[in-house]
Structure 1
């Protein structure tokens, strides 16, 4: 994936023919909103980043395992104009009136993670890309955001916004990066807003292939297209139940990351790994133990119990003070946590990572994509749905 993010000059190079008319109308509306927000200014260019749906490999990327998502047509679009006046101020508006316009100094970005503002994701993308590019005095930009990815629906609207802003800012400074470079930078960007994702969302947004799912692996980051059964249709339905990752990070997403980290470390220690403190992901623990998925699950059954672990119990198992466990193995947003579901987390990760590998094998070993293959794929996903 050492391919630069492409630049196109026609909407027909981005959208399907049946969607083109609606997209032309949409971009006209973005242009009108831009002029209204920025005193008649006209965009110099547009950046775009798609959302994604994950077919299989849920909650395993931050444990080091591969995932199998695909990009969707729904996207974030950012219209960009470079200000004619000197300075480092960036002003961001949104076509959705419930998201107020705001400005910040691009040379001194401070993100208040305690305030759950939509602009935090935009500022995270801006901050991450300017730091990665060494832009200590970035240009003054006007940005108009338009999104058609349902927010909080599990389709990575927030990550797409981070990616799109980073792409817009890089182009606004005449910088050309590869898809891989953007994916790695944007994965780090989201840590500025207090979430500890593993990189799937950002990677598929930049590295997707049309007409294929992608098997994305980490350490190092790489992506491979996976051919799905011919004629397969995936229905992506929005339940309208909103889950805002940033808002609930301390008690949900980030806590789950910490529980997986503690599980990995405990597996390595109880399995007799000498440098167990280095096994901070379940994949690292598995590699250190040189064990198959079945062998790892057997170790989990032997050493773990299904009840919540307390910090006091973990202190005894690790042979470390509680304070050291908190400072060494937990994140800033989860330091108050005192109850950890280790058995459930590690069991899910190992089972799901194994299913993901099986799914890819099924697709790879039947290139003609027969009906029988479609049935096998559906059965694999059915098991995934029961987790």
Structure 2
């Protein structure tokens, strides 16, 4: 295992200067509440011990230099001023540039020479938010080189998480904010119930007899390099436009929580209404339903090519999953791990069937654990590969010791800075 001392020595060896700060940013596992944060519904993640670490310092070369401790990733360098404006097919250095650019623009700072050394233990494209961890770590490293003392006295943790989420479209992701909030706001030992607009969180004690196992499906998806994720965002926006018309609601928002709130409908009521929506529609049919101008409002530059959409099943997932988050929090408070497991299973079924964001490998790994005594198992993260999170009773963990797993997870601390 690589130590802080080894990273420090490596930084000095490659750059010839001492690091000024070390940033540690955890990954996260979402226990329940998938693909609903970008509709402003609450989610239920916890930070994990696997993390991104960046050692950083200002340099006198007037260059931006990024090095990776993992030799399979080539170093990246640019003279100042760097004209980077984003990437639709991001590589590791693009995630660092995303956080760097977000902070410089927020703080209205001129570019300056910096040296970063990156080290990470979060498996990439695993659904454990390695990409957002890179963005957040880079943003805090940049901010910590600009200000003295505690950077969170300059910007609150909530606003910092929001800033990082708002920066991610630079790398092609229409982020909802859960990943950044989980990684920035987490407290060691507890899961988080995170709500949005405004961003807020509360610590949730998990039952003592609940153990979460994180398992990799052995298939990966780069969320920033594919259209699946953004397709789901756009489909939800189209549903919002249809429901605004149905309820005669006037609001610029196309987040489904806003639409539900303004309609005054309960989850049960709005789920019945959702069943009246069409399932598969093409672009021309969407224009007939909501008008060309409203469709244009839904689309972004990199989603204008989309021509076919699914609506009823996507909406059913969002509203039912948001309801499950409420029920999961209640089950945690009541220490009812059987109900927690049931809700996780329902969540995976909804992700697989209604949102179509699972894959055979994820379905198989969930089924394998359920057949060996797990109470619940579901994909975690965007899906289409990556990891599953499994709920076990503490006295049943021995049953799955021979099954594949990445780690047994305990809630970890959020992003932090160490000054040398």
**1: distance between equivalents of 2:283 and 2:26?**
40
Deviation, structure 1 residue 385: 2.1
Indicate how the Cα distance of structure 1 residues 263 and 96 shifts in structure 2: closer, same or farther if over 3 A, else same.
Answer: same
User: Which has more strand, going by share of residues?
Assistant: 2
**1: distance between equivalents of 2:79 and 2:36?**
36
Indicate how the Cα distance of structure 1 residues 112 and 192 shifts in structure 2: closer, same or farther if over 3 A, else same.
Answer: closer
Indicate how the Cα distance of structure 1 residues 127 and 63 shifts in structure 2: closer, same or farther if over 3 A, else same.
Answer: same
For the 8 Å contact 1:106–1:126, the answer to whether it is kept is no
For the 8 Å contact 1:256–1:345, the answer to whether it is kept is yes
Residue 228 of structure 2: aligned partner: 252
Residue 381 of structure 1: aligned partner: 344
- Give the alignment partner of residue 331 of structure 2, picking from 351, 358, 362: 362
- Normalised to the residue count of structure 1, the TM-score between the two structures is 0.85
**2: distance between equivalents of 1:267 and 1:99?**
47
Higher relative contact order (CA 8 A, sep 6+): 2
**2: distance between equivalents of 1:295 and 1:354?**
12
Residue 408 of structure 2: aligned partner: none
Report the more deviating stretch, 336-345 or 113-122: 113-122
For the 8 Å contact 1:111–1:193, the answer to whether it is kept is no
Residue 218 of structure 1: aligned partner: 196
**2: distance between equivalents of 1:92 and 1:71?**
26
- Give the alignment partner of residue 82 of structure 1, picking from 58, 61, 75: 58
1:39-118 matches, within 5 Å, as 40-83=16-59, 85=60, 87=62, 89-105=63-79, 107-118=81-92
Residue 335 of structure 1: aligned partner: 304
For the 8 Å contact 2:331–2:337, the answer to whether it is kept is no
**1: distance between equivalents of 2:10 and 2:66?**
12
Deviation, structure 1 residue 112: 4.5
Indicate how the Cα distance of structure 1 residues 194 and 106 shifts in structure 2: closer, same or farther if over 3 A, else same.
Answer: farther
Report the more deviating stretch, 377-386 or 286-295: 377-386
Secondary structure of the residue aligned to 1:75 is: strand
For the 8 Å contact 1:139–1:173, the answer to whether it is kept is no
In the alignment, does 2:140 pair up with 1:167? yes
Secondary structure of the residue aligned to 2:126 is: coil
Deviation, structure 1 residue 111: 3.4
Secondary structure of the residue aligned to 1:54 is: strand
In the alignment, does 2:313 pair up with 1:313? no
For the 8 Å contact 2:88–2:171, the answer to whether it is kept is no
**2: distance between equivalents of 1:211 and 1:182?**
22
Indicate how the Cα distance of structure 1 residues 112 and 188 shifts in structure 2: closer, same or farther if over 3 A, else same.
Answer: closer
Please list every run of 5 or more consecutive structure 2 residues that lacks an aligned counterpart in the other structure.
351-420
For the 8 Å contact 1:90–1:103, the answer to whether it is kept is yes
- Normalised to the residue count of structure 2, the TM-score between the two structures is 0.79
Secondary structure of the residue aligned to 1:76 is: strand
**2: distance between equivalents of 1:129 and 1:291?**
39
In the alignment, does 2:269 pair up with 1:295? yes
Residue 117 of structure 2: aligned partner: 144
Deviation, structure 1 residue 360: 1.0
**2: distance between equivalents of 1:32 and 1:279?**
50
Secondary structure of the residue aligned to 2:224 is: coil
For the 8 Å contact 1:268–1:279, the answer to whether it is kept is no
